[in-house]
Structure 1
Amino acid sequence: MDTYWPIVAVAVVIVGLSYGVPLFLREYFPWWSLRDQRLAKPTVTTKSYKGRTALITGANGAFGSRASKIFAHREVETLVLVDVRDCTPLKKEIEDELKEAGKPVPNILVWTVDLMSYADCQELGRKAKELKHLDHMLMTAGILAFNRRESPDGWETSIHVNYISGALLALLFLPKLKSSPGNPNPPVLTFVTTFGIYPSSFTMGVPKQGSYLKKMSTSKDGLEQGHQYGRSKALLLYFARELAERVSAAAADKGMPKVTINSTDPGSAWTGLTQPNQDKLIPRLIMNLGARDPQICATALVNGVSAPATGHGKIMMDFTTAPYPPFMERKSGRMAQQRVWDETRSVLEAKVPETKAVFEMLDAA
C-alpha cells in the first residue's frame, strides 16, 4: 500500500499544476493580455473629428499629449487641454505642427486643475459651460506613487487623484456631454484602466466594518504601496461600471440623453510615470512583457473615447473588448461595487454639493 502514496502525491501535484496554475494566472496575472497588447498595432479608426469637441485630462502626459495631437491632426474643432501643469507649451507645439503640415488649427483651450483640490474640480466643471458641445472626454490624468503621501483631505494620493477626483469629474461633466451636430454617435466619456488591477486584486477585500474607501487609502511603503495604483484603478473600474449601468437606466426611465461610458486599457509603455519601475526587478520584467510605443497606447485611448454606443459599459482594448476581472464578476464583486458607489456618493455630496443632483438623476426610477 505504501508504494502507492508517491504515485498519489505525484498525481495530486500534476492536477494542482494543471488546474491551479491557470486559475491563479487568470485571477492575478493573465500574461497573455500583456503579450497580445505588445504585438497589437491599432490605428485610429475615426478619420475626421470635424466640428467636434474633445477634452483630455492629463494632457501634458505621455498618453494625453499624443492623444491631443491625434485629435488635432484629424480636424477637431475645439480641443480642451487639462492638466495640473500649464499646457500652453503643448498648445503651441500642436499649432506649429498643424501650420507646418498645412492643416487647420482648432480652437485650443488650456485649463489647469489640481486634482487634489475639490474647489479646482468644481471650477473645472463650471468652465464646461463655455462648451457648446462635448463629444469626447478622455480622462488620462493619474499618478503612480511609490511612497505614501496624503492629500490635503487625508486620502492617500493615488486614491484621491486616480479615483475620487476621477469619479468627481465624471459626475460634474456628465450633464455637459452633448454630441455636436455632425457626430452620429452619443458623446463618450472614457476612463483609463490598467492590467495592474489583476495583481492588486488580492488586496481588494471588503471589510465587514468601517469604510471600504478608507481601507483602500491605508497603505504602508513597500509592497503594499506598490499596489496602490492598481487598487485606485480597480475602484475606478467599479465606479465606471456602476455609472454606465445607471446612465442606461436613467436614459430608459427618465429620458436622460444617451452617453457612452466606457473604460479603455491603453497597455503599458515606458514613460516618465513608469520610469521608476526600471529600478525594481519584478515591475521591470512585467513592464517589459507588455511595454509598447506610447503612440500606440494613445491610439488605443483615442479609439476608446471614439467608440459607438455598442461600447457602453465595456472595457475597450485595441481591436476588441476585454472582460472584467474575475473578482469583479462574482457576487462579492457586485456587492463591493455597490459599496464603492454608496461611499463615494457620501464623500462627494459632503465635499461638492452640486454632485447631489447628479446622483439623484442617476438613482433608479
Structure 2
Amino acid sequence: MVTAWVIAAIAGVIALLAYGIPLFLAEYFPWQSLRDQRLGKPTVTTKSYDGRTVLITGANGAFGSRAASIFALRDVDTLILVDVMDCGGVKAQIEAELTKLKQKTPTILIWQIDMMTFAGCQELGKKARGLKKLDHVLLTAGILSFARRESPEGWETSVQVNFLSTALIGLLLLPLLKSSPGNPNPPVLTFVTTFGIYPSSFTMGMPKSGSYLKRLSNNRDGMEQAHQYGRSKGLLLYFARELASRVSAAQAKGVLRNVTVNSADPGSAWTPLTNPNQAKLIPRLIMNFGARDPQICATALVNGVSASADAHGKIMQDFATATCSYPPFMVRKSGRAAQARVWAETRSEFETKVPEVKAVFEMLDV
C-alpha cells in the first residue's frame, strides 16, 4: 500500500511538471515569448510617409519621442506630438537632427493634454477636427503608478489614463481617420498593449454583480496596485478587440470608411517610466530578462501603426514566434463575457460624461 502511494505521488509530481507548470506559464508567464521579443530586431517596414499626418500620444516619452523621430526621418508631412508635458524639446531635437542630415522638416504641432480628465480628451478631439487628414494614430501615453490615487473623474489613475482616457481618445478620433492621397492603406488606429497583462490576469476576475470596472478601480495598495498597470492594459485590450469587431461591422454596412484598428506590443525597456522597478527584485528580474533598447520598441510600434488592412483586430508583434494571438484568459467564453461587460460599462460612463461620443457608439451599433 505504501509503495502504491509513493508511486501515485511520483506520478502526480511528474504530471505536474509535464503538464501543470507549462499550462501555468502559458497562462501567466509565457517566458518564451518574452525571450524571443528581447532578441527581436525589427526594422522600419515603410520607406516613406510623404504627405501623411501622424498623431502620437505620450510623445514626450521614451517610445513616443523615438517613434516621432522615425516618422520625421521618413518624410512625414505633419507630426502631432501630444503629451501631458510640453513636447517642445522633442520638436527641437527632431528639427536639429533633420537639419544636420539636410532633410526637410515636417510641420510639427504640439498639443498638451490632461489625460486625468475626460475634458482634456475632449479638447484633443476638438483640435483634431481641424485636420484635413489623419493617417496614423499611435496611442502610447500611459502611467505606471506604485501608489493608489484617484483621478478627478473618480477612477484609479492607471485605469483613468491607460484605459478610459486612451479608449475615449480612440473613439473621438475614429471618425476623423482619413488616409492622405499618397497612402495606399486605410488609416490605422493603434493601441499599445503589454506582456504585463499575463501576470496581472489572475487578479482580473469578473464579479457576479456590480461594476467590473469599479471593482478593478477600487483596488488597494500592495499586490493589487502592483498589477494595476497590467490590469488597466487588459481592460484596454478588451476594448480594442471589441472596437475592431464593431468597426468591421460598421464598415460592412457602409457607415464608416475603411479603418484599421489594432494593438501593438513594443516589448519592455528600461525607461523613466519603468526605472522605479530597479528597486524591486522580482520586477527587476523580469525586466532584465525581457528588456531591449527603447529604439527597437519604438520601431515595433511604428510598424504596428503602419500596418496594412489585414492587421485589423490583431496584436502586432515583431519577433519570430509571434502569433498575434490574444492571451488565453481573453479567448475563453468568460473572456468574451468580460469584454462585453467592459464595453457596456465604458459606454455608460462615456455617454454620461462625454455627450458627443454617443454618436460614435451609435454608428458602431450596426
Q: Same fold (TM over 0.5)?
A: yes
Q: How does 1:19-38 map to 2 (within 5 A)?
A: 19-38=19-38
Q: How does 1:273-288 map to 2 (within 5 A)?
A: 273-288=273-288
Quick check: 1:332 aligned with 2:328?
no
Partner Cα separation in structure 2 for residue 8 and residue 205 of structure 1: 33
Q: How does 1:181-330 map to 2 (within 5 A)?
A: 181-319=181-319, 320-330=322-332
Paired residues of 1:91 and 1:108 also in contact (CA < 8 A): yes
Partner of 1:360: 362
Q: Following TM superposition, where does structure 1 have runs of at least 4 consecutive aligned residues deviating by more than 3 angstroms?
A: none
Partner of 1:81: 81
Q: Deviations along 1:112-166, whole A, 9 cap, x unmatched?
A: 0010121111111010122111000000000000110110111000000000001
Q: Partner letter of residue 243 of structure 2? A: L
Q: Partner letter of residue 233 of structure 2? A: K
Q: CA deviation at 1:221?
A: 1.3
Paired residues of 1:59 and 1:87 also in contact (CA < 8 A): yes
Q: Deviations along 1:216-262, whole A, 9 cap, x unmatched?
A: 10211111100000000000000000000000000002341010000
Q: Partner letter of residue 85 of structure 1? A: M
Q: What SS does the corresponding residue of 2:26 show, helix, strand or coil?
A: helix
Paired residues of 2:135 and 2:178 also in contact (CA < 8 A): yes
Q: What SS does the corresponding residue of 2:182 show, helix, strand or coil?
A: coil
Q: CA deviation at 1:3?
A: 2.0
Q: Deviations along 1:31-52, whole A, 9 cap, x unmatched?
A: 1111001111000000000000
User: When the two structures are superposed, what TM-score results if normalisation uses the length of structure 2?
Assistant: 0.98
User: When the two structures are superposed, what TM-score results if normalisation uses the length of structure 1?
Assistant: 0.99
Partner Cα separation in structure 2 for residue 200 and residue 68 of structure 1: 30
Q: Deviations along 1:328-358, whole A, 9 cap, x unmatched?
A: 0000000000000000000001110000000
Change in Cα spacing, 1:3 to 1:264, as seen in structure 2 (3 Å) is same
Partner of 1:342: 344
Partner Cα separation in structure 2 for residue 176 and residue 88 of structure 1: 25
Paired residues of 2:118 and 2:153 also in contact (CA < 8 A): no
Stretch of structure 1 that moved more, 116-125 or 60-69: 116-125
* Structure 1 unmatched ranges of 5 or more: none
Paired residues of 1:314 and 1:321 also in contact (CA < 8 A): no
The size of the alignment, in residue pairs, is: 364
Paired residues of 2:250 and 2:256 also in contact (CA < 8 A): yes
Q: CA deviation at 1:321?
A: 4.2
Partner Cα separation in structure 1 for residue 254 and residue 180 of structure 2: 22
Partner Cα separation in structure 2 for residue 210 and residue 297 of structure 1: 38
Partner Cα separation in structure 2 for residue 89 and residue 271 of structure 1: 17
Q: CA deviation at 1:67?
A: 0.2
Paired residues of 2:175 and 2:256 also in contact (CA < 8 A): no
Partner of 2:64: 64
Partner Cα separation in structure 2 for residue 234 and residue 342 of structure 1: 16
Partner Cα separation in structure 2 for residue 68 and residue 2 of structure 1: 68
Partner Cα separation in structure 1 for residue 256 and residue 323 of structure 2: 26
Partner of 1:49: 49
Q: CA deviation at 1:64?
A: 0.3
Q: What SS does the corresponding residue of 1:95 show, helix, strand or coil?
A: helix
Q: Deviations along 1:280-312, whole A, 9 cap, x unmatched?
A: 000000001100000000000000000000100
Q: Partner letter of residue 353 of structure 2? A: K
Q: Partner letter of residue 277 of structure 1? A: N
* Structure 2 unmatched ranges of 5 or more: none
Q: Partner letter of residue 215 of structure 1? A: R
Partner Cα separation in structure 1 for residue 60 and residue 2 of structure 2: 68
Partner of 1:173: 173
Q: Deviations along 1:84-124, whole A, 9 cap, x unmatched?
A: 00111211111111011100000000000010121111111
Paired residues of 1:57 and 1:140 also in contact (CA < 8 A): yes
Partner Cα separation in structure 2 for residue 309 and residue 144 of structure 1: 32
Q: CA deviation at 1:11?
A: 0.8
